[in-house]
Structure 1
């Protein structure tokens, strides 16, 4: 597989993927959350065969399907042994979330949910990998969380209610 990544200033980011089976896809992630997926003709990589547009929620559902969240192919059994029941979820801090303006430590996220915040990506695209307890959560930040399904349910409630 061959992957090319291109920044599109004022638009977002574009990924062009050429698969082992010689298919070519272009995936554009717009700054507003929209995704466009273009599939090119296998005989003529300049000719568009199909195009779909997904909003942010639709893209996440499709990625979960492709990533094997809803159906686990037999080939993934070895990975499941390594990961067990751990899953990674992304949460966008919408304006109504009460966790906004509080730190990870204020919310006692790990102690209360058992989940771990592995990254926070701010609205301005600044990234905090493995953030500490002093990181202040801001509106529209994307929170990346590692935990089991029950942990994920608990962290969602903590982010919504903001109670510590």
Structure 2
């Protein structure tokens, strides 16, 4: 299934998709964490037919019911969560793995403890692997989500990109 992401200024993002049966739907991810499940009219794809507003833990529960893992949506939200938790100096980054990366084709554990950062997820295509094990093989096109202080994250970026 192809999912298209649209920026909604001052609101968040809309993730739209069409099912195999031609039904058009979307999830609107608001900046405040709320999620709306939107179903569009089949005869007029730009017209909303139904909207279901999900708040609190409801989006996660629906994701579990649908058999999907919880996806790290925005690294910016993770960063804000760290700031809200009063974790001074902690930041989060997303580092894409280029074809030229010395870590493409290697295990995540090869990074070792050389950086002082913690890899919390690897984004691969439409999947999110949370808390990947050291044996997890990195590939060109993956993106690594790491948490740490500025110097640790700079070291992760430098190692993964080969700079």
- Which of the residues 97, 100, 104 maps onto 2:101? 97
The structure whose residues are more often helix, as a share, is 1
1:126–1:79 distance in 2 versus 1, CA, 3 Å: closer
Q: Supply the distance in 1 between the matched residues of 2:6 and 2:142 (Cα, whole angstroms).
A: 21
**Number of positions where the alignment pairs a residue of Structure 1 with one of Structure 2:** 105
Q: Supply the distance in 2 between the matched residues of 1:91 and 1:138 (Cα, whole angstroms).
A: 12
> What is the TM-score normalised by the length of structure 1?
0.52
Say if 2:143 is the partner of 1:142.
Answer: yes
The aligned residue for residue 124 of structure 2 is 122
> What is the TM-score normalised by the length of structure 2?
0.52
1:84–1:25 distance in 2 versus 1, CA, 3 Å: closer
Q: How far is the alpha carbon of 1:12 from its aligned partner? A: 2.2
1:158–1:10 distance in 2 versus 1, CA, 3 Å: same
Superposed counterparts of 1:1-164, under 5 Å: 9-13=1-5, 25=11, 27-28=13-14, 79=84, 82-108=86-112, 111-123=113-125, 125-161=126-162
5+ residue gaps in structure 1? 1-8, 18-23, 31-45, 47-62
Q: How far is the alpha carbon of 1:28 from its aligned partner? A: 4.0
Q: How far is the alpha carbon of 1:160 from its aligned partner? A: 2.2
The aligned residue for residue 50 of structure 1 is none
| Cα-Cα RMSD | 3.7
